[in-house]
Amino acid sequence: MPSTGSTSASPDGLLMVLVQYPVPVVTKPEDIQANVDEICRMVASTKAGYPDLDLIVFPEYSSSGLNTKIWTYDEFLMGLDDPKVAQFKQACKANNVWGVFSIMEPNHEKGKAPFNTAIIINADGEMALHYRKLQPWVPIEPWYPGDLGMPVCDGPKGSKLAVNICHDGMFPELAREAAYKGANVYIRISGYSTQTQDQWIMTNKTNAFQNLMYTASVNLAGYDKIFYYFGEGNICNYDGRIISEGHRNPGELVSAEIFPAQADKARIHWGLENNIFNLGNRGYVGYPGGKTDNYLTWVEDLAKGQYKLPWADKIRIKDGWKYNPDGPQLGPLPENFK
């Protein structure tokens, strides 16, 4: 059975810690460096407190903050070759731990908005996974839609890891994509404020159950003088039940030991509620082997680039609305910026 809060792990148990990082207030580039330094310090201190720690996860925006006035200016972005990413790599290597980190990544195609990015670094300090947010939170976030799909990588203790970012988790299709590619641990890093707390918890549970995989989700916590961020990190079993959960405390560590092989066995041995298999093998009791044809209109239309809702012409907000009606402001920070 999964352990909650243990400092040690079984040979086949993956011990993880989710850090409810205090929401950072970022107004200048130096603030990002300070956050990176603190995150690396927390990697070391958490490993010291949890000697068998396999995986540590930090929320979306934990390095860059959520100041919408500076989100897309060059000085506040962080490429994969940035020295600050090198710090994350060194922290993982020095402490023999896998880590999930959030960066805002420049888009090298001229005139295009940056990416909201998550990276997974292994215990050798190497990049194991690079993900760009597929569903930026519209109509607020100015990020370019991700172009790397939903990658999956081999992780510690028999895990296969995928990561999604905040609003991505509201789309069951993305969780299904990760599971379809073999992920048995689906990590969600978020920077949500309290308006979406109930939906965030609900979707973490349903993403787990519908795909027979663990979900590990963590959100920023605290107050940035505009919004309150709810924390509420949680780790869900592959049957949708919460194994471990945090509260609203900034800096709280949410920990659990999970067993990826158990999720794999459920996918192989379950008959009842093996939803991910049954989706493409319908009614195998009445039709030997199950029907495998595509019966979903929206899947066919999306594949053709013709996805359109019956009420699409009536939808009122289809652009940046009041936040970025003319698109994001790109390039160097203006000299007169305040």
Q: Among all residues, which ones are annotated catalytic?
A: 60, 133, 166
Evaluate the omega torsion of the peptide bond into residue 328 and state whether it is cis, within 30 degrees of 0.
Answer: no
Q: Are 147 and 112 in contact (CB under 8 A)?
A: no
CA distance linking residue 247 with residue 237, whole number of Å: 18
Work out whether the CA dihedral 23, 28, 106, 156 comes out positive or negative: negative
Percentages (nearest 5) of helix, strand, coil residues in the chain: 30, 20, 50
Q: Are 172 and 207 in contact (CB under 8 A)?
A: yes
Which residue's structure tokens are 């203790």? 157
CA distance linking residue 108 with residue 112, whole number of Å: 8
CA distance linking residue 101 with residue 39, whole number of Å: 9
Q: Are 100 and 56 in contact (CB under 8 A)?
A: yes
Alpha helices in the chain (DSSP H): 29-49, 83-95, 172-180, 197-211, 260-269, 275-278, 297-303
Q: Are 20 and 250 in contact (CB under 8 A)?
A: yes
DSSP per residue over 292-324, as a string?
Answer: -S---HHHHHHHTT----TTGGG-S--S-TTT-
CA distance linking residue 124 with residue 90, whole number of Å: 9
Which residue's structure tokens are 């940046």? 320
- Cα dihedral: 65, 68, 69, 70 (round 10): 40
